[in-house]
Amino acid sequence: MFSVSGNCQNQQKSKPNIIFIMADDLGWTDLSSSNTSLDNGSKYYESPNIDELAKQGKSFTYAYTQQNCQPTRAALHSGQYATGPQNGVYNVGSLKRASKGDTTPIIPHTQNNYLKEECVSMFETLKTVGYHTAWFGKFHAIKLGEQAKSYLGVDYNLALHKETKATVNGVNVKNEFFAQNDDANGWTFEIEELKPYAQPYNATYIKNVLEPMKNGNDPWLLEGTPKHLTDALGDAVVDYIKDRSQEKEPFFAYIPFHAVHVSILPRPDLEAKYKAKTSQDPRHTDAEYAAFVELLDQTVGRILNALEDPNGDGNTQDGIAENTLVVFYSDNGGFMGPTDNTPLRLRKGTYYEGGVRVPLIFRYPGVITPNTVNTTQEVHTIDFYPTLADIAGVKLPDPQMHEIDGKSVAPVLREETEALNDKKELYWHFPGYMDVRNMPQSVIHYRHTNNQHYKLFYRYEDDSYELYNLSKDIGEKTNLLEGKPSRGTLNLAKKMNSKLQKWLIQRNAPTGTWAKNGEKVPYPQKKGIKKYK
């Protein structure tokens, strides 16, 4: 397990290295940490390295994403909501994903599948002050290969899919996560650049890499078996840190793991550990998923250890952890089935808390006070771009070229304030369909007086609303507009509805058209809440 030394002095340093780690489909309750989820962490899954990261940094319990992979990544790199002019990515694939055979009253908007090429990405902005930029892992919302360098500003690009196609003993084979032994090319993953890390587990690797990270698992069970993509990406990141630690210029390493996305294919030694372990958590009982979470955790631990000792010789004099900001995050809520997001409602793909609320940790020794938890400030995917720019001391793009929707939460990280007064709302907008999970709707999250957090849903098909007090009803069980809502509740709903309508109009948010007459679907009306009187 990694550790980091040093006392917090809350002094901003110049141009720190930045490590941004993003898990895939890791739910709010999927870590064993008590810091990241208001003590709702798993009692079965084990994540000791990420838990330690939380103890060394600041966790945010109101951290949010988009509802699934592609729109979250587009928002991250652009700093824009899906409604932003360089974004336009609302869903994975398209907005025309109604349940099979369904006819829909609204014809969905046609979305973008990639950020527009005129987008001034987070990578490009950091490069203006000398950052070397790198990408390791899942590619969603960008184009692969050289195009990532040309229009997103990535210097070292290891973006790839989790699937590997190969010809093995004359048969074309496609599998996920594990390296394949191609007849012509030998052991490989999808891209050639990761081939040096594709060799099967051998005794040297197990002894030097996996043994130091073991936590009740037996890594020697792996000898001679194919390498897992999560380990291979960890190997590549560790080598990158070793190389960049010898350079004067800072680096920004973006590490979007494919773990723990389905198919749930963990490392066999960790799966064996959990199959022998009895769950004490009724929400979490799946041994394969538990093993996948810990594989992610061990790989994160290896990356953090590399910051302490880049060349791995046991001497930490060359360590760069003290001048490195580490961010840990997930791209959306958990995918129910292999996991359970209780006490949050529902899952990935929805705008209920189970779909968009995720773990978030920042660690920056000497600047961020260790073992702290912020239970007030809401943070969204769009906020990372301006926050990292703020910490790196770089100006944001000219708004005429590229407008940023997010706000920097660096003042909160430095404890200059508990929450930003000019950042009390978050918005989501979905002008289409996604099976049973999502339909045309708009949502506002609002921090009201006494830091009470509320969320208002507006559904376009039937002009209906839902209102929840997240501070008192984290599971979104009680729609405050049902029955006979109080005057205060109605006034709050009106205020939130007005903010939502104004935001939609300002951004010219698309809503689709009515199938019955081809007319544009209107925005929520200012007096829409009146029907609840």
Tokens of 434: 């996604």
Catalytic residues: 69, 140
| Rounded Cα gap, residues 287 and 46, in angstroms | 11
Q: What is the mean pLDDT of residues 519-530?
A: 93
Look up residue 389 and give its amino acid. A
End-to-end CA distance of the chain: 57
346-388 per-position pLDDT tens digit: 999 999 999 999 999 999 999 999 999 999 999 999 999 999 9
Which residues make Cβ contacts (< 8 Å) with residue 530, sequence separation at least 6? none
Q: What average pLDDT does the chain have?
A: 94
Q: What local confidence, expressed as pLDDT, does residue 185 receive?
A: 95
Closest CA to 374 of 76, 57, 13: 57
Which residues make Cβ contacts (< 8 Å) with residue 127, sequence separation at least 6? 133, 153, 155
Closest CA to 499 of 447, 433, 432: 447
Q: What is the mean pLDDT of residues 157-175?
A: 95
17-48 per-position pLDDT tens digit: 999 999 999 999 999 999 999 999 999 999 99
Per-position DSSP letters for 154-217, written without gaps between them: -SEEEE--SEEEEEETTEEEEEESB-EEETTTEEE-SSGGGGGG-SPP-HHHIIIIIGGG-SS-
Which DSSP helix (H) or strand (E) runs through 324? strand 324-330
Q: What local confidence, expressed as pLDDT, does residue 381 receive?
A: 98
Residues in a beta bridge with 457: 443, 466
Tokens of 140: 């969603």
Q: What local confidence, expressed as pLDDT, does residue 1 receive?
A: 47
| Rounded Cα gap, residues 319 and 302, in angstroms | 14
The sign of the dihedral angle between the CA atoms of 303, 307, 309, 310 is positive
Look-up of token digits 């989501």: 428
Per-position DSSP letters for 348-387, written without gaps between them: TTSSSHHHHB--EEEE-TTTSPTTEEESS--B-GGGHHHH
What is the band of 428 on the pLDDT scale with cuts at 50, 70, 90?
very high
CA angle 438-442-444, nearest 5°?
Answer: 120
| Rounded Cα gap, residues 297 and 286, in angstroms | 17
Look-up of token digits 């899942």: 138
Are 266 and 292 within 8 A, CB to CB? yes
Q: CA dist 279 to 275, 290, 381, Å?
A: 9, 10, 33
Q: What local confidence, expressed as pLDDT, does residue 7 receive?
A: 42
Q: Looking at 188-284, list the stretches that DSSP marks H as alpha helix, in order from N- to C-terminal side.
A: 203-205, 229-244, 268-275
Q: What local confidence, expressed as pLDDT, does residue 13 receive?
A: 64
Are 196 and 179 within 8 A, CB to CB? no
Q: How many alpha carbons fall within 13 Å on the CB side of residue 270? A: 27
Are 418 and 447 within 8 A, CB to CB? no
Closest CA to 142 of 157, 127, 132, 128: 157
What is the band of 12 on the pLDDT scale with cuts at 50, 70, 90?
low
Considering the chain, what percentage of its residues have pLDDT values greater than 90? Answer: 91
Q: What is the CA radius of gyration of the chain?
A: 23
Tokens of 296: 């992610």
Residues in a beta bridge with 157: 135
Tokens of 417: 């304030």
| Rounded Cα gap, residues 267 and 27, in angstroms | 20
CA angle 23-27-32, nearest 5°?
Answer: 90
DSSP one-letter code for 52:
H
